[in-house]
Amino acid sequence: MANGIGAPATATPVKEVTTASFRADVLTASQQKPVLVDFWAPWCGPCKQLGPALEKAARDSGGKVALVKMNIDEHPQIAGQLGIQSIPAVIAFDRGQPVDGFVGALPESQIRGFVERLAGPLKGGAAERLAEAEEAAAKGDAAGAASIYAEILAENPEDAKAIGGLARLHVAAGNVAEAKALLATAPAPAPGKEPDPAIAAALAAVSLAEQASSVGELAPLEAAVAANPDDHQARFDLAVALSAKGDRDAAADALLEIIRRDRKWNEEAARKQLLQLFEAWGLMDPASVAARRKLSAIWF
């Protein structure tokens, strides 16, 4: 997998349980921790689809659950006693009793949810992978970050943080239309609630990119500001262009200079634009932190 999370080549094979070993390997073993029994057969295509995701979820529990397999063609008795009529079927045993289960090749997100009900949060879950994607993006590995976001969205198309993160990557690559199309798939916030911060940040980034496309090149704007330091519109446009070029500190400083000179200019447009930059960059981005400090010094 592109995010580096997956089964190592040397992963221990899942133990095959027989009718004779079922008591020891499942009932007795489940006194120590939950045991998942994967009922399968060699001819069952969906069983082959389920297996890798189930094994990965069990590994990601960090040893909090065990996973075994039982071939119902060779050992039909236990499946019959449990009322299993179709496969794949997974039954969880805890303290010697069946406590949960499902039938069919579920999506990986649902499989992980099933295991998490028994074991708590798993390693390699969406939160961990989102952190990996953000780290990759911060290091300039846009392709790696995009791959992780895409994997998360393949499992859960409404993951707002993955939608927002991938949309911001599209904006950074100049693909504003793709970013807007992706953001259109984001789930609507609950009534009275604000959008997820990741969605809000991506929307702000889209807005800034669209603004930047209309303000022109840096050199004429810099010349206009040099010729007339009180040309607030030129300085404002310069800030937008600087932000689009990735020069966050300079963009913030340009807006702060407008606020120093005339904080009420154009209905406080500079302050509002600065807040939009903070939202697009992230409130804890170093440029946001530094600019907020300077803004406080001006304001108070």
Residues marked active site are found at 44, 47
Classify strands 66-71 and 97-103 as parallel, antiparallel or unpaired: unpaired
Q: What single string gives the DSSP state of each residue in 22-42?
A: HIIIIIIGGGTS-EEEEEE-T
Are 170 and 176 contacting, i.e. CB atoms less than 8 angstroms apart?
yes
Q: What single string gives the DSSP state of each residue in 127-186?
A: HHHHHHHHHHHHTT-HHHHHHHHHHHHHH-TT-HHHHHHHHHHHHHTT-HHHHHHHHTTS
Tell me which residue has tokens 């970013």: 179
Strands (E) located in the chain: 15-16, 35-40, 66-71, 89-94, 97-103
CA distances from 97 to 14, 28, 47, 273 (A): 21, 10, 23, 60
Structure tokens at 295: 């803004």
CA distances from 103 to 75, 116, 152, 155, 182 (A): 18, 17, 23, 18, 33
How many angstroms separate the CA atoms of 242 and 259, rounded?
Answer: 17
Nearest CA among 258, 252, 263, 250 for reference residue 293: 252
